[in-house]
Amino acid sequence: MMVKVVVLRMGHRIFRDKRVTTHVGLVARAFGADGMIISDVSDKTVEESIRKVVQNWGGDFFVESGKSWRAVVETWRHMGGVIVHLTMYGIPVDEVIPKLKGKDILVIVGGEKMPREVFEIADFNVAIGNQPHSEIAALAIFLDRIFHGSELKKEFKNSKMKIIPTEKGKKIEIKS
């Protein structure tokens, strides 16, 4: 059974977080998520950056912005999915992963101080260690645990470019 995983990026500040939020989207795509929603603010620049990567490197990854995080969570819950909030204050990731098997997952990734309400509405508050760290790293580790490493071997359909692994140097196949 294929599960759906979508990342909800909260706390994005347009003039400060473009690079970090773009990297959240790139990691989400590369590590197997189906898409990313940037809550509460519309940022077409970040959307276009990620769409350009999808266009060149393939896949069906979607990105949207400007939706209310509460509405996204409510819709997700109505559709029967679970809400996972990545936070250093949560339960260790390896204790939670078995409980998520076969479930559609909305992964909340914060950018600034998260509202207390998020901790309450999440089905699982999940920690990738209990020390301060990057939300990008936390997302990568979480997705790797969810997909058991299979995302690293994923072939992205409709790609125009593909990296050919080499021991030294860089080799890219450009498809016509």
How far apart CA 165 and CA 148 sit, in angstroms, is 21
Residues 146-169: what's their mean pLDDT? Answer: 93
Chain segment 44-62, per-residue pLDDT in tens: 999 999 999 999 999 999 9
Threshold 0.75, pTM exceeds: yes
Residues 2-9: what's their mean pLDDT? Answer: 93
User: Is 134 a residue whose pLDDT tops 70?
Assistant: yes
| Residue 119 lies in domain | 5-174
Going by pLDDT thresholds of 50, 70 and 90, the confidence category of residue 133 is confident
User: Is 14 a residue whose pLDDT tops 90?
Assistant: no
User: Is 113 a residue whose pLDDT tops 90?
Assistant: no
pLDDT at residue 53, rounded to an integer: 97
The total number of structural domains that make up the chain: 1
pLDDT at residue 130, rounded to an integer: 87
CATH of residue 60? 3.40.1280.10
User: Is 1 a residue whose pLDDT tops 90?
Assistant: no
Question: With the C-alpha atoms ordered 65, 117, 121, 17, is the resulting torsion angle positive or negative?
Answer: positive
User: Is 13 a residue whose pLDDT tops 90?
Assistant: no
Q: What's the chain's average pLDDT? A: 94
Q: Which contacts qualify for 145-150: CB closer than 8 Å, 24 or more apart?
A: 145/93, 145/94, 145/97, 146/3, 146/5, 146/32, 146/97, 146/100, 146/105, 147/31, 147/32, 150/32
Q: CB under 8 Å to 160, separation ≥6 — which residues?
A: 55, 56, 57, 58, 174, 175
